[in-house]
Structure 1
Amino acid sequence: MQVHTNLISSRNSGQIVPIDDNMNCSSSIPSNGLLRIKSNRLQLIVLRCIFFAALISIILVTYFIFSRDHSSSSSSSDNQASTIKVSSTITQFPTYVTTPMSTKSSLTLSGQKCQSFSFDPYVSYSSNNKPWSIAFGDFNRDNHLDIVISKTENYELGLYFGFGNGTFAAQTTISAGSTLFYVTTADLNNDNYTDIITVEASDNRVGVFFGHGDGTFDRRKTFPTGYYPYWVDTGDFNGDGNTDMITANSYDNTVTLLLGDGRGNFATQRNITAGDIVTGVVVADFNLDNHLDFAVTEFRDYTMSVFLGTGSGLFQARQSFSTEKNPWGLASGDFNGDKYMDIVVVNQRADSISVFINNRNGTFQSQMVYSTDAPAISVAVGDMNNDTYIDIIVANDYKNYVGIYRGFGNGSFDFPMKFYTDWWILFVATGDFNGDHRPDIAVLSEYTEAMNILLNSC
């Protein structure tokens, strides 16, 4: 045992002393004792191996348990965030569905929300004679939404009476004036029946068909406008309780305001100067002062302009905001939930849409641009998946689909989802055609000269 003592002593002294290979240990240690020492050493080695193996196993098990718990915690956190986001959309607020290019919204009851968009395969209805735009109304007072379309050939309107289940009767026609572009509906003479308003571009006037409430109409009555009116919208601009009309006149760069007397008569208030080639107009209260304002698209100026109303039929100076190339149709809706109406413009030759967020005072932030993949002239808005956020629907010309941009409720939008239709879609509008409180889609195809209906199956 002297050797062992010397080794310990030497290590304590800080010096490493090698073992002498010539040292004769057997001379002082019996053979049976040597066997016991070797056996003890072997047991010690085995015990050490077992100990280290157990230690490594404990470390590995602890690591995997920790990793699994961390992963589960992250997954649980992600699921919780997703659940919170979804549940936040379950509100008792009504869903706003706007008519084409209009802010005259109708309330619908909230239904079942959907994570995405879903529509039945489209059903096609023949129209012929170059259909151009769509409007809705209950023309025969049966509580089912009916459809009217304008046409640029044969000087006629097409009527489709709804059955309330998403299907429509075959088209009936009404003879109209000259070239018809935009059509809209309103009660212009306060008789509680829906009337039809069209622009007769080549004759520089609007034509009004006063409804009887049974699906029939008086012969049209016309009122002069500026040069080559293209679009028309309605609202009470002077606060007298009667519906007025406003037209976008594309060839003389003006907007015509026609003030109604509530009995179906209109006086031209004045022509308001706007930008170069006014193609679209939309009416809304953009600054929440309880006076109606309007916005227009100016095709050649690459601008969208806003005119704030004073409530007397007069308007403040024009405010212009840059768009992309050749803005055409436009619509408004509250895209970020602040109660102020925002604006979306479709830029025909830029293959894009421009979204303008309201600064809560009737002025607007710079445009946010989203691609449309094709030229387009028509855009509509509505909550298409009932998540209480307004979405944007675009008609893609030269394509066979509409693109729906899902709104996030903060003023931004997702990439568009495609829903297939006939080819060359000129116009898109939303309305509840089957009474399920979910906005459906109607489009017009230039190629097939037909109307397509896509029922919302969300």
Structure 2
Amino acid sequence: MTSFFARMFRQGRPCHLRRAAAAVCAVLAMLPLSGCPLNEVAFGPLTNSDLRLFQSRLVYEVAGETTDAVVADFNRDGRPDVAAVNPDTKNVSVLIADDAGGFKAAVNYALLDAPSALHAADLNGDGAPDLVVTVEPLSHVAVLIAKGDGAFEAAVPVNLVSGSVPRGVAVADVTGDGRPDVVTADSGSDTVTVLAGLGGASFEAPVRVACWAGPRWVTAADVDGDGQPDIITANRDSDNLSLLMNTGAGLAGAVGLPCGTAPRMAAAGDLNGDGLPDLVVSNTGSADLSILLNQGGGAFAPELRQPLGQPPTRLVLGDFNRDGKTDLAALLFDAGTGGSLGVFAFFQGDGAWGFGAPKFFGGGWQPFGLVAADMNRDGMLDLVTADAGMKAVAVVRGRGNGGFETDQRFAVGNTPRAAVVDDFNGDGKADLVVANMDSNNLMLLTGDGAGGFTRQPAALPVFGKPRSLVSGDLNGDGKPDLVASILEQKALTVYLGTGNGLFILASPVTVLSPGSIYMSQVRSMALADLNGDGKLDLVTGNSNADTVSVMLGKGNGTFEPPNEMKAANYPIGLTLADINRDGKLDIVFISRNDPDQANDAAEPRVVRMLGNGDGTFDTASIQRYTTGAGPSDLAVGDYSGGGVPDAATVHTANDSIFRLDGSGDGKFKAGARLNVGESPVSVLLADLGGDGLADLITTHLDGYAVVRYSRGGGQFEAPRHFLAGDGATTSVLRDVNGDGVPDLIILNKGTSDVSVLLGKR
């Protein structure tokens, strides 16, 4: 997985392929697919590589699987630069800011063994920050002296006592001589080591001071206000903090401070505005935060806890919403697997000691390091993550209001499979209803009008697994209603909206003819006015029955009996569109083999059936078009240009899309295969660029979406990637913050949440 994600991002550009990877993909796209008679198509180059279609992280490649990063102005040009440690490649990557708001290609500096942590500080007084790096296996720190132009001298090893195993590092003038000293947290010897600085890479012999067991982190802060930095360590093995007060003649013996279990780090900051540094601790074992308010003189109030539900690792403090109060952001790990969730939580500080309810955002692919800094000098704090899974550092721009330019996450139920957007509570803001297949419910999330959502406590129960969901005004009261398909039910479930966020269970909708022995297994459906009477009608693809049904709406929330048509095998991906441009809606869907029937060898095809404009369809007009094996989703839109509808199908097993260009007479031309990356599961066609051409959006199981701009004539540009959650499945494109730009909502079954990526032009 690591190598795959490393290929996805081009150096110094937001979220798209490197040139070499693009060339590889182009070659792959031209290779023949076994058993497929369709043409192969390569992608064109990016016309504007800096364009971001959605507010997303800016990703910059480093040498290896980075685990920590720092931000400092290494070349003294006033712009923040980044350095990151790479344990697998045993080096440090330095990225210098360029003139375009990004970074130049990383320059790498070799170390003698695997690094774990780093700190930036001016050790020699020349105004350029130097680097101090812990090298655990060799029990030393590596010092890289800055040249002042962004480059560094070769690393100089400075030995600690053998067996120290330094895990954390801080720099402060502990000895009070005006020169910076290096302090390490030594997990191998349960000590703190002080290297008294002599200037540059020269230090006095190491001095050890005992602390508690298993220190993993060290920070320096003047906790008693005497002008001398004191030392705090987070001790994983003894489940506490060590406080070593600076007496002016050295560090006093360690005093234990309480925290949760398996603390990962401690950050110092003024939470309550009294001018004293308080402590916040991330506890990976107890999955919470410990808050220790400073009472002055080195004393702290009794510990306070902030539960999180998932283990926090790295955290940062800062005023992210510019209200003068200290806020907090923390990376989260999975309590079950111990792996990174790729999510960070943001907590707004209340100015006393507490924090508001967390907001969750996409944090990258296996992020381990987290830094807060104003990267673009706009007065708003941003975040920088060290992403091991992508071998990259990423900049997450802050919006200055507690929001960030990355996907915001909202928890839903288990296995979300369908979603609709509408104003369900009548406040003029877009809301979201999600069908959670393995929670057997529908969940309403009310929108705040700015792209945020609040999950409502009472979910709508359904009697089985909801698979498909549509919304519209079924009874003419001006309030959106819901229709849900339940895999175990023959009929569809209807909920009439009351306009205040509540719903009333209405009469079910029968989709199969009387006497049918099949379960309907509706996996896709569509609402539209098919006969021009101003009432919404319903069309379903009945996968188990191999039929398509049309139910004409009565305008009161009920429907006429179904007109069930034998159309093709296992219909899925059903959509309505005017394919022959006669002003009447036609039906387009996928016909394929039933994946649950081993002996079903039906050939995969796209099926088109013309509408008559009166709610009926001409079964004699059915045409079938060959597509690739195992199609799972279909979209219709004009990507070729000229107002002619085209179609695209997604094929998970073959990592591809099949393109069916419209011919203008209601038919499609022979298909063409496009390799789009690993495990695509859904496809959208929509005009994101405002040029009248439908662009291609695919969602991938590995946790990301890909946008390819249409260039007309059936040609698409190289991909732009946007991270979402694990097990990303279905996507919905709607404007949820009212700025006129479409936003992307992605359902993540692996993390049981939805990702919202706000559009950006």
Normalised to the residue count of structure 2, the TM-score between the two structures is: 0.43
After superposition, residues 272-283 of structure 1 pair within 5 angstroms as: 272-283=209-220
Residue equivalent to 1:184 = 119
User: CA contact under 8 A between 2:63 and 2:106: conserved in structure 1?
Assistant: no
User: CA contact under 8 A between 2:197 and 2:203: conserved in structure 1?
Assistant: yes
Within the alignment, does 1:402 sit opposite 2:344 as a pair?
Answer: yes
Q: Which amino acid aligns with 2:382?
A: D
Q: Deviation string for 1:211-235 (max 9, x for gaps)?
A: 1101111111121224110111011
Q: 1:384 aligns with which of 311, 317, 320?
A: 320
Q: Deviation string for 1:62-83 (max 9, x for gaps)?
A: xxxxxxxxxxxxxxxxxxxxxx
Higher relative contact order (CA 8 A, sep 6+): 1
**1:261 counterpart SS class:** strand
Within the alignment, does 1:449 sit opposite 2:416 as a pair?
Answer: no
Residue equivalent to 1:331 = 267
1:444 deviation in Å? 2.0
User: CA contact under 8 A between 1:395 and 1:443: conserved in structure 2?
Assistant: no
Q: Which has the higher helix share?
A: 1
Q: 1:301 aligns with which of 238, 257, 260?
A: 238
Within the alignment, does 1:361 sit opposite 2:303 as a pair?
Answer: no
Q: 2:286 aligns with which of 350, 370, 385?
A: 350
Q: Deviation string for 1:152-188 (max 9, x for gaps)?
A: 1111111111237652223221112211011111111
User: CA contact under 8 A between 1:396 and 1:425: conserved in structure 2?
Assistant: no
User: CA contact under 8 A between 1:160 and 1:168: conserved in structure 2?
Assistant: yes
Residue equivalent to 2:410 = none
- For 2:178 and 2:152, the matched residues in 1 are separated by 23
Q: Which runs of 5+ in 1 are unaligned?
A: 1-118
1:191 deviation in Å? 1.9
Q: Which amino acid aligns with 1:248?
A: A
Q: Which amino acid aligns with 2:239?
A: Y
**2:341 counterpart SS class:** coil
Residue equivalent to 1:162 = 97
Q: Deviation string for 1:384-439 (max 9, x for gaps)?
A: 11111111110113212211111111111112111213233212111111111221
Normalised to the residue count of structure 1, the TM-score between the two structures is: 0.71
Q: 2:379 aligns with which of 419, 433, 437?
A: 437
Residue equivalent to 2:179 = 242
User: CA contact under 8 A between 1:120 and 1:456: conserved in structure 2?
Assistant: no
Residue equivalent to 2:354 = 412
- For 1:240 and 1:364, the matched residues in 2 are separated by 28
Residue equivalent to 1:4 = none
Q: Which amino acid aligns with 2:158?
A: F
User: CA contact under 8 A between 1:180 and 1:201: conserved in structure 2?
Assistant: yes
Q: Deviation string for 1:246-292 (max 9, x for gaps)?
A: 00001110010010123431013510101111100000100001111
Residue equivalent to 2:86 = 151
Q: Which amino acid aligns with 2:259?
A: T
User: CA contact under 8 A between 1:183 and 1:196: conserved in structure 2?
Assistant: yes
Q: Given the superposition, is the C-alpha separation of residues 248 and 164 from structure 1 closer, same or farther in structure 2, using an over 3 Å criterion?
A: farther
After superposition, residues 19-168 of structure 1 pair within 5 angstroms as: 120-163=55-98, 166-168=101-103
User: CA contact under 8 A between 1:396 and 1:426: conserved in structure 2?
Assistant: no
Q: Could you tell me the percent identity over the aligned residues? A: 24
- For 1:401 and 1:222, the matched residues in 2 are separated by 35
- For 1:128 and 1:402, the matched residues in 2 are separated by 24
- For 1:409 and 1:147, the matched residues in 2 are separated by 30
**2:261 counterpart SS class:** coil
Q: Which amino acid aligns with 1:380?
A: V
Q: Deviation string for 1:288-312 (max 9, x for gaps)?
A: 0111101001111100111110123
Q: Given the superposition, is the C-alpha separation of residues 128 and 220 from structure 1 closer, same or farther in structure 2, using an over 3 Å criterion?
A: closer
User: CA contact under 8 A between 1:166 and 1:455: conserved in structure 2?
Assistant: no
Residue equivalent to 1:270 = 207
Q: Which has the higher strand share?
A: 2
- For 1:241 and 1:337, the matched residues in 2 are separated by 28
User: CA contact under 8 A between 2:64 and 2:392: conserved in structure 1?
Assistant: no
Q: Deviation string for 1:319-346 (max 9, x for gaps)?
A: 1112111001121100000110011111
Residue equivalent to 2:168 = 231
- For 2:184 and 2:226, the matched residues in 1 are separated by 23
Within the alignment, does 1:316 sit opposite 2:252 as a pair?
Answer: yes
Within the alignment, does 1:289 sit opposite 2:231 as a pair?
Answer: no
Q: 2:142 aligns with which of 194, 198, 207?
A: 207
Q: Which amino acid aligns with 1:157?
A: V
- For 2:312 and 2:367, the matched residues in 1 are separated by 8
Q: Given the superposition, is the C-alpha separation of residues 274 and 122 from structure 1 closer, same or farther in structure 2, using an over 3 Å criterion?
A: same
- For 2:308 and 2:71, the matched residues in 1 are separated by 26
- For 1:443 and 1:277, the matched residues in 2 are separated by 25
Residue equivalent to 1:104 = none
Q: Which amino acid aligns with 1:294?
A: I
User: CA contact under 8 A between 1:145 and 1:164: conserved in structure 2?
Assistant: no
1:131 deviation in Å? 0.5
Q: 2:106 aligns with which of 171, 180, 187?
A: 171
- For 2:65 and 2:366, the matched residues in 1 are separated by 12
- For 2:99 and 2:288, the matched residues in 1 are separated by 35
Q: Which amino acid aligns with 2:176?
A: G
1:206 deviation in Å? 0.5
User: CA contact under 8 A between 1:150 and 1:180: conserved in structure 2?
Assistant: yes
**1:202 counterpart SS class:** helix
- For 1:286 and 1:221, the matched residues in 2 are separated by 32
User: CA contact under 8 A between 1:200 and 1:206: conserved in structure 2?
Assistant: yes
Q: Which runs of 5+ in 2 are unaligned?
A: 1-53, 334-339, 401-761
Q: Given the superposition, is the C-alpha separation of residues 324 and 395 from structure 1 closer, same or farther in structure 2, using an over 3 Å criterion?
A: same
Q: Which amino acid aligns with 2:127?
A: N
Q: 1:374 aligns with which of 292, 296, 310?
A: 310
**1:223 counterpart SS class:** strand
Q: Which amino acid aligns with 2:73?
A: D
**2:137 counterpart SS class:** helix
Count how many residue pairs are aligned between Structure 1 and Structure 2. Answer: 339
Residue equivalent to 1:428 = 370
Moved more, 254-263 or 228-237: 254-263
User: CA contact under 8 A between 1:396 and 1:424: conserved in structure 2?
Assistant: no
- For 2:68 and 2:197, the matched residues in 1 are separated by 24
Task: Mark the structure with the bigger radius of gyration.
Answer: 1
**1:400 counterpart SS class:** strand
User: CA contact under 8 A between 1:162 and 1:433: conserved in structure 2?
Assistant: no
- For 2:233 and 2:274, the matched residues in 1 are separated by 22
**2:227 counterpart SS class:** coil
- For 1:431 and 1:263, the matched residues in 2 are separated by 25
Q: Which amino acid aligns with 1:192?
A: G
Q: Which amino acid aligns with 1:387?
A: D
Moved more, 231-240 or 363-372: 363-372
- For 1:266 and 1:364, the matched residues in 2 are separated by 33
Residue equivalent to 2:133 = 198
User: CA contact under 8 A between 2:65 and 2:390: conserved in structure 1?
Assistant: no
- For 2:324 and 2:98, the matched residues in 1 are separated by 28
- For 1:235 and 1:367, the matched residues in 2 are separated by 26
